Every structure is written in structure tokens, then in C-alpha cells.
């Protein structure tokens, strides 16, 4: 119920976005955008809609800052959460993070810090149980906090910072 | 109503702060503060009250970490939000961010990651609509989450990380 | 009441963790973990239980990202908050942050950015009053936001980013 209200509130905005359905992926050549600071590279995963409001990730120096990810089904516009509640959403969120990392040439092993935003702190244990499966050892530093609402009525949103892997 | 209660709670603290009404702006010379780590430079915009609780921004290496900004009217002490609700607050918040970036020699183009904290997720679309106007292309990575309350009863608080522009 | 419910929800998970009671402290030698990105060093304070879900802190380049800290009593497993409410919790949180910084060879002076998550915005002034005592000058940049709940029923959680001190 709450979710459907939120979706109704948010979808008009999201639908209204003129998605540039870019087919190119990876790190963009910043040289073609002279007005942009040279220490800022936009990471745009292939097949992911480019939104006017935020970039999927931005690399600066040796760090990659990922936008908060939610459990939206890949390739579906307007965005739609996977069904089944917080556990499937957590898994999908992690998959979406992997997609963005991949476009930057990185993996989950390169994550150094994550923040988990929950819609309800009572999901904390369930999210942890799903989340920990992605980090068999040396997990990133992390904070977790519950708020009162997330975009699209998501139950979990995870934002991450990754280190650029050495080549 | 809620806002006035929060303001009443917070203002005594804020008024109680011994504001150092510094007139100097820009990046401070860290050489005069030997006990401070050399990789930490305080950014202090001209005309902005220096608070004991947080610095406006701190530069470390090639990154500038800005404190969360709210839609407080510039030059008004004790701090007071602009009137008119979440849209004017978002615009004023962005203006306050520009002021801090300017003191660091940076602009909105240098922002690489922002976090938008909302008092109410139902403001998500309105905040996005105002926010996106500041980023005609290549917006920063971003997370957005609604909580249960912000300082001064603000409806929106935005924190940002910027890359130091190359010279 | 609310706290005890949350603790009841969370403790089974936390108890269930196979705590590796590592006695080693400090920055780990990443050379022994080849599958881990070389730009990622786990900070593990001596005497602090190593959790599968997050590392106490991760260093990457010149930055140290600390996990969100709460006012948990040191050396107590399963984790238990200090008694007495938000002010003792804030002080214990800061002490726990000092412990992690120390394992990375850093101090509070090296903090460049903190985020304060509150369970209730009405604690804002009290937390500020305790927090500011740790920063006699040049405080880090900071954001503060209240959510609807924190792990273990904590009233405050603080996450920090520090600059690696120059040697």
C-alpha cells in the first residue's frame, strides 16, 4: 500500500525523464566534455538508462562513487522493484551494484565502504543475511540506518565507494 | 508546527555557539595549525559563520568533503530557513553549496557525489525537479533517503563530495 | 521498550555470527589476500570482534573509511550499548571511533568528514554538545540526520572518514 503510493508519486517524474537510451558503456572519455572537471569521469553501464538526476557512478582519482542502488529490475523502464520483499530486493540491489562496478572495471572485492539505507530497521537482520553472502571475506566498512522512505518504495538502498583496481 | 518545535529545540544550542565571525575566506593555511593533520584543510567561506560543531568543508588530497547544507538564509544568525517550503529550500541549499565550493575554488561541475536527505519521501519528486536544474549534464552520483527529521526543521539537507579542480 | 524490541530482533543475528576473536591489530598485510584489491586494507583494532558483515574500517590510498560506530561497550559480545541514554552513547561512540583510528595510526585530528545518524532529531542538541568536546578546533565536515531506527536500538551512530596522517 505504502509502496504503491510512493510509486505513484515517483513514477510520473521518472517517466517524464527523457531517458537517453545510450548503448555505450564503460568509462566515458571526459576529453569531450571540456566544461566538466577533469577529475570526474562518468561511469555509464551498458543497457542502463541514463537519468538526468544522477549518474550511475562517478570516478575521481582512485575512487569510484556509486549512486545508491535499489532492487530495480534491470532493463525495465519505468523502474520497477523486484517482487518478494526485502530479501529479493537486497539480492537485486547487489546485482545492480555489480553491473555498475563492472562498467568501471571493478568488482565487489574493490568495495571499501557501503551505506545501507533501510525503510524499516526490522529488516536489518534479513538484509545482513543476504548482504554478507556477497562478501566471503574482508567486507567493506559499512553503516546502516533506517529512514522513513526510499525512492520507488524500496525497502533497501545501498550506496558504495570502490577503489579503482590497480592494473 | 513540527518545524517550529524543532527550531525551538535547536536554536538555543545554535544561539549558544560563540560564532567566530571570521571575515577571511578560502582555504586556510594549515601550517599555522601544527596539531592538525597536514592532509586536512578547512574550507571557510567568507561571511559564513564558523561553527564549533562542524566545518563548512574539509579538503583532503584531491577531494573536498562538504558538510550537509540546508536552505538557511545566508548571513542570518541564528540560522533561519528560507520560507516557502521544500522547493525554495532546495534552491537555497544549492546556492549555499555553491558558496562553499567557491571558497574552495570549485564549482558544481566538480561535484562527484551527493546525498539528499529528505524529511519526507513525498518531497522526492519536487526536490529532484529543483536539483536537476543545477546539473545540465553529467550529474554527480547520488543517494536519496528520507529520515524523520533534520536540523532546524529543514525539509531537505544535501551533502556533497567534490573533486579538487585541476589547475 | 522500542530499544528492547530492536535488540531482541538483532541479537539473534549478532549472536549467530561466528566471531573470529582475532588478537592481531592494526593494518593487515594485504599481500596475503591476493583476491582482494590492492588498494584496500582492512583495519582491525585489537580486541574488537571481527564481524562477517563489515570491517571496522578500510583504508584506501590516503583515506580511511570507518564503519558507523555506535555506543557499544568495548569487549562485550554480543554487543551491548552503554546505559544512560544518548549522551553516554555519544561519548562511547567517540571512544570506539578513537579505538579504530588508533589501529590505523590516526587520531581524531585526522577526521575530515563525519555523518551523525540519530534515532530522534530531538537528540540533536545533546549529541552536538557531547560531540563538540572531541574537536576543540577545526572540526570535520559533518552531516546529521535522524532516521527511524539504528542497529541494536542505538540512539546515535557516527560514521567517519579520516585522512591517513603523513609520516
Domain boundaries, chain A: 2-163
Banded pLDDT at B26 (limits 50, 70, 90): low
B38 pLDDT above the threshold of 60: no
- Phi then psi for residue A141, to 5 deg, are -60, 155
CB contact under 8 A, A143 and C117: yes
Q: Which 8-state DSSP code applies to residue A28?
A: -
Phi, psi of A157 (to 5 degrees): -135, 135
* From C110, C139, C163, residue closest to B53, measured CB to CB: C139
How far CA B75 is from CA of C65, C82, C107, in Å, comes to 33, 40, 33
- Report chain B's mean pLDDT, rounded to a whole number: 83
Look at B55 and C143 and tell me if their CB atoms are within 8 Å: no
Distance CA C8, CA C28 (A): 34
CA dist B38 and B42 (Å) reads 11
CATH architecture of C2-27+38-163: 2-Layer Sandwich (3.30)
Please, which residues have CB within 8 angstroms of residue C8's CB and are 6 or more apart in sequence?
A: none
pLDDT for position A71: 98
Angle subtended at Cα A166 by Cα C34 and Cα C167, rounded to the nearest 5 degrees: 90
Cβ–Cβ of B143/A9 closer than 8 Å? no
Which helix (H) or strand (E) segment holds residue B142: the answer is: strand B141-146
- H or E segment and range at residue A37: none
- Chain B partners of A149 at a C-beta cutoff of 8 Å? 118, 120-122, 124, 145-146
Would you state the pLDDT for residue B47?
Answer: 84
Please enumerate in sequence order all residues whose Cβ is within 8 A of that of C133, keeping only pairs 6 or more positions apart, or say none.
none
> To the nearest 10°, the Cα dihedral for A52, A54, A58, A64?
-160
C165 contacts B39? CB cut-off 8 A: yes
Which residue blocks in C19-106 are alpha helix, DSSP H? 86-103
Q: To the nearest whole angstrom, how far is the Cα of B131 from the nearest Cα of chain A?
A: 8
Check if the beta carbon of residue C51 is closer than 8 Å to that of residue C45.
no
Q: Identify the three-state secondary structure at position C43.
A: strand
C63: which strand partners? C60, C163
pLDDT at B44 over 80: yes
Taking CB atoms and an 8 Å limit, are B129 and A9 in contact across chains? Answer: no
Per the model's pLDDT, the better-predicted residue between C126 and B5 turns out to be C126
Closest chain C residue to A126, measured at CA: C13
The predicted model gives C114-133 an average pLDDT of 98
Question: Is there a contact between C135 and B52 if contact means CB atoms under 8 Å apart?
Answer: yes
The tens digit of pLDDT for each residue in A143-155 reads 999 999 999 999 9
Tell me which of B80 and C17 has the higher pLDDT. B80
Q: Is the pTM of this model over 0.90?
A: no
Are A33 and B129 an interchain contact pair (Cβ–Cβ within 8 Å)? no
Q: For residue C120, what pLDDT is reported?
A: 96
Count CB pairs under 8 A between chains B and C. Answer: 121
* Residues of chain A with confidence (pLDDT) below 50: 1-24, 28-37
What is the DSSP track for C121-161? Answer: GGGHHHHHHHHGGG-SSSPPEEEEEE-SB-GGG-SEEEEEE
Question: Residue A117's pLDDT is what?
Answer: 98
Say which residue, B114 or A7, is predicted with more confidence.
B114
Q: How many CB pairs under 8 A join A and B?
A: 118
Helix, strand, or coil (residue C108): helix
What is the CATH architecture assignment of B2-163?
Answer: 2-Layer Sandwich (3.30)
Put simply, the answer to whether C149 touches A148 (Cβ < 8 Å) is no
C64: nearest CA in chain B? B60
Mean pLDDT for C23-42 is: 53
Residue B83 near residue B4, CB atoms below 8 Å: no
Identify the pLDDT of residue C4. 41
Which DSSP helix (H) or strand (E) runs through C118?
Answer: strand C111-118
- Count Cα atoms within 13 angstroms, Cβ side, for A89: 25
Q: Averaged over B64-75, what is the pLDDT?
A: 96
What is the pLDDT of chain C when averaged over all its residues? Answer: 83
B chain contacts of residue A53, beta-carbon cutoff 8 Å? 128, 131-132, 135, 139, 142
Q: Which of A120-124, B157-161, C11-15, C137-141 has the lowest mean pLDDT?
A: C11-15
Contact residues on chain A for B101, CB-CB shorter than 8 A: none
Which of C163, C165, C166, C167 to mutate to probe the B interface, most B CBs <10 Å?
A: C163
Chains that touch A (3 or more CB pairs under 8 A): B, C
pLDDT class for C27, splitting at 50, 70, 90? low
pLDDT, tens digit, 9 for 90 and up, residues A1-30: 344 443 333 333 333 333 333 334 555 443
pLDDT given at position A38: 54
Question: Is residue B155 pLDDT above 70, yes or no?
Answer: yes
Those residues of chain A whose CB sits closer than 8 Å to some CB in chain C are 61-63, 106-107, 109-110, 112-115, 118, 120-122, 124-125, 128-129, 131-132, 135, 137-148, 161, 163-166
> Residue A13: its pLDDT value, please?
36
Residue A49's pLDDT is what? Answer: 83
Amino acid at each position: 500500500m505504502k509502496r504503491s503510493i510512493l510509486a505513484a508519486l515517483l513514477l510520473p517524474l521518472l517517466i517524464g525523464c527523457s531517458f537517453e537510451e545510450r548503448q555505450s558503456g564503460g568509462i566515458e572519455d571526459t576529453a569531450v566534455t571540456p566544461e566538466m572537471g577533469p577529475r570526474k569521469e562518468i561511469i555509464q553501464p551498458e543497457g542502463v538508462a541514463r537519468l538526468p538526476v544522477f549518474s550511475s557512478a562517478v570516478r575521481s582519482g582512485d575512487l569510484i562513487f556509486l549512486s545508491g542502488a535499489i532492487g530495480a529490475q534491470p532493463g525495465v523502464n519505468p523502474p520497477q522493484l523486484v517482487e518478494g520483499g526485502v530479501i529479493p530486493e537486497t539480492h537485486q540491489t547487489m546485482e545492480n551494484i555489480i553491473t555498475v562496478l563492472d562498467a568501471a572495471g571493478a568488482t565487489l572485492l574493490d568495495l571499501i565502504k557501503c551505506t545501507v539505507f533501510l525503510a524499516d530497521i526490522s529488516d536489518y537482520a534479513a538484509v545482513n543475511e543476504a548482504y554478507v553472502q556477497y562478501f566471503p571475506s574482508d567486507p567493506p566498512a559499512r553503516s546502516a540506518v533506517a529512514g522513513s522512505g526510499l525512492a520507488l518504495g524500496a525497502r533497501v538502498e545501498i550506496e558504495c565507494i570502490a577503489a579503482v583496481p590497480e592494473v
